[in-house]
């Protein structure tokens, strides 16, 4: 029988998670975690405060909370990061990087605005999001690309050889261009095109490509009306397919852009298809992401929805694989 204590434990665990989340986000933003990462043997709270020019009493408060959240270990007044925390929270080049999610979750577009417009249901789109939020989302998309290119794409039979030999690649919803840079580095023989509906994201992509010396054609267009030409060997979409207003029209246009035998690759969050999954940790995090998705008028989709989509549009040799509990790839080929 469920007791009041059981139910209280369910609620208190949420408070504990919230306290840990805020501690980690403060630690990332204010450089506390980076400073600890520099000295693996640890720092006293005094020394940490001195290095960062912060109040020692407050720093000690943060350190204790970071210990409680299992981010740090300690002996007396000396604190150091637990194993892999520096990689997970700070290393933007690691496939395991999750630090960006903490800071994005705290931005107004996630929960603050949602609460304000709960009554009116007023929607938002990317052109109404602040540049800091768009940058933050690009930071959370980066490990998806790191896992996908080239490791994930290598798992798709026949694709890696074509990419290595050189072919045309279309990235739909390329956002701020980090995926295009990664594609260019992994497959220098390929010709790249990126399409995105948000002008600010395309401007950021152009600046990034320029700074990185990467050549790619950029098109500002909604995916539902895009006309990127044809002859592409791969059409790739990273964490954006669920955002399409008309996913069937986007599938049709992607199919038309592909050469016969070309691959459509959808890399996305696999939203739980069944209720049990919603109460697991990945499902709970994805339920949080749905607050933003709802505001832009969509929801994350179960991965199976992409099987159905590709099947509906006549793609063949369908396949999929899970890279992490929050990242799955679904693909198919144009007949
Ligand atoms: C979550 S961001 C991901 C961007 C990038 N793929 C990444 O992983 O960093 C979603 C992107 O999809 C774009 N987008 C969403 N729906 C779109 C549509 N229907 N047409 C064109 N772009 C769209 C947005 O402008 C935004 O840049």
Which pTM was predicted?
A: 0.96
Q: Which of 224, 228, 230, 227 is nearest to 216 (CA)?
A: 228
Q: Do 211 and 278 belong together in one domain?
A: yes
Q: Is residue 96 part of a domain?
A: no
Average pLDDT score over the chain: 98
Q: Is residue 102 part of a domain?
A: no
Q: Do 120 and 79 belong together in one domain?
A: no
Per-residue pLDDT at 68:
98
Contact 182, 146 (CB under 8 A): yes
Report the domain count for the chain: 2
Q: Do 56 and 130 belong together in one domain?
A: no
Q: Do 46 and 126 belong together in one domain?
A: no
Q: What CATH number does residue 81 fall under? A: 1.10.10.10
Per-residue pLDDT at 322:
98
Q: What CATH number does residue 287 fall under? A: 3.40.50.150
pLDDT tens for 263-301 read 999 999 999 999 999 999 999 999 999 999 999 999 999
The total of other beta-carbon atoms located within 10 Å of residue 294's CB is 15
Q: Do 318 and 170 belong together in one domain?
A: yes
Q: Is residue 245 part of a domain?
A: yes
Q: Do 197 and 325 belong together in one domain?
A: yes
Which residue has its alpha carbon closest to ligand 1 atom 14? Answer: 173
Q: Do 148 and 40 belong together in one domain?
A: no
Q: Do 196 and 64 belong together in one domain?
A: no
Q: Do 46 and 131 belong together in one domain?
A: no
Q: Do 134 and 58 belong together in one domain?
A: no
Ligand 1: which residues within 6 Å by Cβ?
126, 137-138, 141, 144, 173-175, 178-179, 196-198, 201, 222-224, 238-240, 243-245
pLDDT tens for 150-197 read 999 999 999 999 999 999 999 999 999 999 999 999 999 999 999 999
Q: Is residue 75 part of a domain?
A: yes
Q: Is residue 316 part of a domain?
A: yes
Domain of 48, in residue numbers:
4-90
Of 104, 130, 173, which is best to mutate to test ligand 1, by the most ligand atoms within 8 angstroms of its C-beta? 173
Work out the burial of residue 270: count CB atoms within 10 Å of its CB; fewer than 13 is exposed, 13-18 middle, 19 or more buried. buried
How many Å apart are CA 163 and CA 188, to the nearest integer?
9
Cα angle value 196/91/171 (rounded, 5°) = 20
Sequence length of the chain is 335
Which residue has its alpha carbon closest to ligand 1 atom 15? Answer: 243
């Amino acid at each position: 029988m469920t007791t009041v204590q059981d139910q209280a434990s369910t609620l208190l665990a949420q408070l504990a998670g919230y306290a840990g989340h805020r501690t980690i986000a403060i630690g990332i933003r204010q450089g506390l975690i980076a400073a600890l990462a520099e000295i693996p043997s640890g720092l006293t709270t005094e020394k940490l405060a001195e290095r960062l020019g912060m109040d020692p009493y407050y720093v000690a408060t943060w350190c204790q909370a970071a210990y409680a959240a299992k981010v740090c270990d300690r002996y007396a007044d000396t604190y150091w990061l637990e194993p892999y925390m520096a990689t997970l929270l700070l290393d933007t080049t690691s496939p395991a990087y999750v630090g960006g999610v903490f800071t994005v979750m705290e931005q107004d577009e996630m929960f603050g605005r949602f609460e304000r417009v709960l009554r009116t249901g007023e929607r938002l789109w990317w052109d109404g999001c602040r540049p800091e939020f768009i940058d933050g989302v690009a930071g959370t998309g980066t490990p998806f690309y790191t896992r996908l290119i080239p490791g994930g794409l290598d798992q798709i039979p026949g694709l890696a050889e074509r990419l290595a030999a050189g072919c045309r690649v279309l990235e739909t919803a390329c956002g701020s261009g980090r995926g295009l840079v990664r594609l260019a580095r992994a497959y220098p023989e390929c010709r790249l095109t990126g399409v995105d509906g948000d002008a600010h994201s395309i401007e950021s992509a152009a600046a990034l490509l320029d700074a990185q010396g990467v050549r790619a054609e950029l098109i500002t267009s909604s995916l539902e009306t895009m006309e990127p030409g044809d002859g592409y060997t791969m059409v790739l979409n990273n964490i954006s397919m669920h955002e399409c207003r008309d996913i069937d029209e986007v599938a049709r246009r992607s199919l038309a852009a592909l050469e016969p035998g070309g691959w459509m690759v959808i890399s996305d969050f696999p939203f739980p298809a069944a209720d049990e999954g919603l109460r697991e940790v990945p499902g709970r995090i994805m339920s949080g992401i749905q607050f933003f998705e709802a505001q832009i008028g969509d929801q994350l989709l179960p991965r199976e929805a992409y099987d159905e989509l590709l099947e509906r549009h006549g793609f063949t040799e369908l396949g999929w694989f899970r890279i992490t509990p929050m990242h799955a790839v679904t693909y198919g080929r144009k007949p």
